[in-house]
Amino acid sequence: MTQGVNVVGLYVRDQQEALAFYVEKLGFRVHTDVGNGDYRWLTVQHPEQPSFQLGLFKPGPPVHDAATAQALREVVAKGAMPPLVLMVDNCRAAYERLSACGVEFMQEPVDRYGTVDAGFRDPSGNGWKMIEVSAKPHSQRPQ
């Protein structure tokens, strides 16, 4: 039996806005987009990682009451959620390409821990670290 993580969800303030960001700017593809009344199950996937989906979920019914949904939107907007990590072959080149597409970076590429990383947020406030794949294994990197 095969087991593993298939979907990781993010809370977004507007699913259409999030969909445009992840597909048009980051190059993800739509995997699933289905509705059930006011609830919409929307997932995207990176083209080089088809077995993994990123859920773009809007806080609210039927999962959350109005107060909880508002609190979640506020926490996400402040950038308080743990960042996700996007691995790239060349961080500086990806930074230039994504900046040209309108991605707003909170941190320009910097050399750190034997690699290069940068940071950006999606339109809802979810943080991302973009890290250059290093030939040096993690166990050999300085802590």
CATH of domain 7-140: 3.10.180.10
Q: Which residues pair with 2 in a beta bridge?
A: none
Q: ω into residue 62 within 30 of 0, thus cis?
A: yes
* pLDDT recorded at residue 4: 87
Confidence of residue 48 (pLDDT cuts 50, 70, 90): very high
Res. 45 pLDDT band, cuts 50 70 90: very high
* pLDDT tens sequence across 56-92: 999 999 899 999 999 999 999 999 999 999 999 999 9
Which pTM does this prediction carry? 0.88
- Taking alpha carbons only, the member of 130, 128, 101 closest to residue 115 is 130
Domain boundaries defined on the chain: 7-140
Nearest alpha carbon to residue 57 among 124, 118, 104: 124
